[in-house]
A and B are shown apart, each in its own frame.
Chain A
Amino acid sequence: MTSIEHHLEEHSGRSNGLDSTGMDEKHTPWNHIIGFSISLVLTVLALWMVLHHIIHAAVLFGAIMALAILQAFVQLYFFMHITEHHVPQWPFHVWMLTLGVTFTILFVVASIWIMSFGAESY
């Protein structure tokens, strides 16, 4: 178990049957608070960057996309517990999501490319 997983196990209280009996005395859901704070920071940052046009548009767009992707991982990790090990054969849903993300990127990027009608070659 990596240290961060260990940390989560300790604080999220989602790890074993004991929790459901309410015997765990630690009451602060740090895990969720951290996730929420990060997502707030990322959102505000993106908004601020755009409203103040801090850099050239293309770079700016790359930057806010990066922030969005980061934030998606925050949700998946802190709220959706995607790395949870209780799922039988757990990695398969991660594979499916990975494939889904691959095709998502493919469909969006390729559609833009295709529908630009060869603008790149003129």
Chain B
Amino acid sequence: MLHIANLHVSVADQTILDGLDLDVPSGEVHAIMGPNGSGKTTLSNVLSGRDGYHITGTVTFDGVDLLPLTPEDRASAGVFLAFQHPVEIPGVGNMYFLRTAVNSVRAHRGLPELGAGEFLGVAKEHMARLAMDPAFLSRSVNAGFSGGEKKRNEILQMSLLEPRLAILDETDSGLDIDALRVVAQGIERLRSPDRSMLIITHHTQLLDDVRPDRVHVLQGGRIVRSGGPELAHELEAAGYENLPSEVSV
């Protein structure tokens, strides 16, 4: 589904990703771990279509070249990024934002637009599952949300938009125990044979709940090690510095 080959990304002459290769087949959940500043967020930004990077290499999604596509076209094609730091947008109502997003993606998929009332029903249903107070709908997007509330709002968007590739950039950071479980359930609910996920995390808790198919280590701008779920615990015990630098993709 997602195929990345020899990806180089730099910002103002600083190389951040340096020949990254990664394949996430359909239906699989992969995790990426790696030290601070190793380029995990840069990778997710590049996949979401954020501008400002100098990019070379190949990124295809279902065989389609992703790199020339605008962020909105990628979203319509089914790419979703749960941001590490969701942006606060005062003045844009969360409800209006969510409905506009859902209807934009629906239009692209040839589905009819959801009216305000219809959408409200759908949103409330999803929020109930995520134990989110419907009051969050009447606030501005992420404005004044606590760290954990912002992360839940990301998962809400993910479940409403039903992406085919979900990239979760440290969605588990800063969550309390209950929220972590809710997020894990949200991920599990979306798990399906025609959907892939890339979970970026520093912790093993979420991975214990979600059980990824593969775990990758991003270091020095490339994937330096890949393995099964047990690799996460190995990393936790040994740390990145003591990691044998064998490459096994």
A and B: real partners? no
A residues adjacent to B (C-beta < 8 A)? none
B residues adjacent to A (C-beta < 8 A)? none
